[in-house]
Amino acid sequence: MFMLRVMRMIMNGRTCGAIFLAITALVGSCETLPVRVVPGRDAITPSFVWPQPPERPRIRFVRVVARPQDLGIESSFWQRVWGVLVGKEEEWFIRPTSVAANGQAIFVTDAGGQALWILNPQAGRFHKIQEAGGQKLISPVSVARGPHNRIYLADSYLGKIFVYDREEKFLDTISHPDFRRPAGLAYDAVRDRLYVADSAAHRIWIFAADGKPLGAIGQRGNGNGEFNFPTHVAVDRAGRLYVTDALNFRLQMFNEDGSLSGLFGSHGDSSGDFASPKGVAVDSEGNIYVVDALFDAVQIFDRSGQYLLTLGERGLGPGQFWLPGGIFIDDRDQIYVADAYNQRIQIFQYLAGGGAK
């Protein structure tokens, strides 16, 4: 796309001089384009751990990612030429809401930027997806990885789930006549199922990998297995489902067959309580991580719901958050948190051993 735009401008003689000057400025300088430094957002790597000594550390800070360059990914030559021509600043996340990873790439939904970012440091490239089958994304809020490196993307405003193939090309749309506001996504690799938290319908939709509807869990209420604006979902390695039941201020857990296996949480401001629960994830030892936007922190529980530890606090620095949203834990127990109003993703490492039993 960048190359096509530049070539069209080259065909226009009135812009040849501008292009020549832009290329000369880039090639003739040994320096890269200026980097905008924003306090609290740039990728610094202090040795932060939780809990603090003398207790044994369980979580270690790894890095901040607010732009592709934080992963060593530079814009291509023609992208930089185009940026000089149009006066375009370096691109940053605007309001990242969810994150996923597959060991090679990091996927970030940027609701503020109406885009899905795909950052691939191994390949040294990044890609911004802003449409699906010719339709502009409006409110991309959640992303999940599927089979064959498929990507599932929920747009809450459009009320649809978009599917992209391993080449990041639009593949299909998943919809349902009763969709109201699809939000959180989670893919169950054990059973090849996609779970969709529909916050306005107060239920969890279940789809096959190909988009075929398989059923739903829940209805509006405060009883066991009922929901009041569920926002986020996660699936552990055994196929158990975890649902953030936001306005019931609790987390509900379901077995592989959809039956309720447990729940915990209540409204409050003490450790282990919830004020505005958001993203949920589970590490390899069964510890449960729940983001709380109003606490500006991530609370960690054992598999029975017993409170263990709080990660983070309000602020702009590493290990600090401002209205965080989604969370994802990969196969290596790296923890990715969408730090929405700090406009970045923060990455941590769970230090295995001594976790949930």
Closest CA to 195 of 248, 149, 146: 146
Percent of the chain, pLDDT > 90?
Answer: 77
Q: Could you give the C-alpha distances from 85 to 36, 90, 348, in angstroms and in order?
A: 18, 13, 38
**How far is 158 from 182, CA to CA, in rounded Å?**
9
pLDDT at 353: 63
Question: Once rounded to an integer, what is the mean pLDDT over residues 107-125?
Answer: 96
The distance from CA 293 to its chain's CA centroid, rounded to whole angstroms, is 14
Q: Which residues of 139-178 are buried (b: 16+ CB within 10 A; e: fewer)?
A: bbbbbbbbeeebbbbbbbebbbbbbbeeebebbeebebee
Express each pLDDT in 163-174 by its tens digit.
999 999 999 999
Q: Please state, in angstroms and as integers, the Cα–Cα distance from residue 300 to each residue in 7, 73, 279, 291, following that order.
A: 52, 32, 12, 9
**Burial letters for 251-284: b for 16+ Cβ neighbours within 10 Å, e otherwise?**
bbbbeeeeebeebbbeeeeeebbbebbbbbbbbb
For residue 32, the model assigns a pLDDT of: 35
The band of 84, judged by pLDDT with boundaries at 50, 70 and 90, is low
Domains, the chain, in order of start with CATH, read 92-350 (2.120.10.30)
The tens digit of pLDDT for each residue in 294-350 reads: 999 999 999 999 999 999 999 999 999 999 999 999 999 999 999 999 999 999 999
Q: pLDDT, tens digit, for every residue of 1-52? A: 444 444 444 445 444 454 444 444 444 443 333 333 344 444 444 569 999 8
pLDDT attached to residue 74: 79
144 CB-near residues (< 8 Å, 6+ apart) = 100, 151, 152, 185, 186, 187, 194
